């Protein structure tokens, strides 16, 4: 988890150019330009192709491509959490754009919170996923009753669900009556597959929406980790254990 001072826009521009992005905006409201370029540079650092075609501050956004997915990321500053619903709704209503070739099409919102130190990651994730309840041992948290959670788990979203306590674990769970906006206001994010957020301490987080109505492959949980991707699956194949005899007979096993 990186926490550092937010760099000057020129430094982010240099980082983007080094990564191959040459059309990033160079002018605009300083605070917004700082956040936008830092968010874009963060994605580019993860070996993604970032571009700003037809950029305008009226609808600020950038595009990200790899061999598997085309992602439109709309930018919006957020000054207070009560404005989060309207910000999500506005981004949800924007077009995701066409994906070239065989790439899947995705749509994210880049939330710029770097000038809002009163908004923490803890608060944002509670608004998106829900407020947690702690159960002390030996009491066990109940399994959620909302069928959408089990449906998302069966589709492969267990990692995201567990990370944000929508599936019980470690004595913590989000009760159905405490769900966040991804579940209580699905119309806000029906076509929005996640939120990329930059916080005041320089930390950047990516929060996927397992409940989006748009095509939303669970493999995208690992999007930033797979670099440019590949047509084949990124999962590593683990050879079956052949027994101690096979290991003893191998020539490349360190002795």
What tens digit of pLDDT does each residue of 34-83 get? 999 999 999 999 999 999 998 999 999 999 999 888 999 999 999 999 99
User: Quick one: tokens of 62?
Assistant: 């950038």
Asked if residue 101 has pLDDT above 70, the reply is: no
Mean pLDDT throughout 195-221? 93
Asked if residue 251 has pLDDT above 60, the reply is: no
Mean pLDDT throughout 146-151? 95
Asked if residue 252 has pLDDT above 70, the reply is: no
More confident residue, 188 or 160: 160
Residue 67 is predicted with a pLDDT of 87
The model's confidence at residue 135, banded by pLDDT at 50, 70 and 90, is: confident
| Distance in angstroms (rounded) separating the CA atoms of residues 217 and 156 | 8
Mean pLDDT throughout 166-195? 90
For the whole model, what pTM was predicted? 0.85
Residue 96 is predicted with a pLDDT of 67
């Amino acid at each position: 988890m990186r926490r550092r001072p937010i760099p000057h826009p020129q430094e982010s521009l240099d980082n983007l150019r080094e990564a191959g992005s040459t059309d990033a905006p160079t002018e605009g409201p300083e605070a917004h330009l700082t956040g936008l370029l830092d968010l874009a540079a963060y994605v580019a650092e993860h070996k993604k192709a970032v571009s700003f075609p037809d950029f305008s501050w009226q609808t600020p956004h950038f595009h990200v491509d790899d061999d598997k997915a085309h992602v439109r990321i709309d930018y919006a500053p957020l000054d207070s959490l009560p404005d989060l619903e309207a910000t999500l709704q506005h981004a949800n209503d924007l077009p995701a754009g066409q994906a070239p070739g065989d790439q899947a099409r995705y749509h994210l919102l880049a939330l710029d919170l770097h000038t809002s130190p009163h908004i923490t990651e803890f608060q944002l994730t509670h608004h998106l996923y829900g407020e947690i309840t702690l159960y002390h041992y030996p009491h066990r948290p109940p399994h959620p009753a909302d069928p959408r959670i089990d449906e998302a788990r069966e589709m492969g979203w267990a990692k995201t669900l567990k990370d944000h306590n929508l599936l019980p674990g470690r004595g913590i769970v989000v009760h159905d009556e405490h769900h966040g906006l991804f579940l209580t206001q699905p119309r806000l994010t029906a076509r929005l597959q996640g939120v990329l957020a930059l916080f005041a301490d320089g930390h950047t987080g990516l929060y996927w929406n397992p409940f989006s109505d748009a095509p939303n492959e669970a493999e995208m949980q690992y999007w930033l980790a797979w670099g440019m991707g590949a047509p084949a699956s990124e999962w590593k194949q683990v050879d079956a254990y052949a027994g101690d005899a096979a290991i003893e007979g191998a020539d490349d096993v360190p002795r």
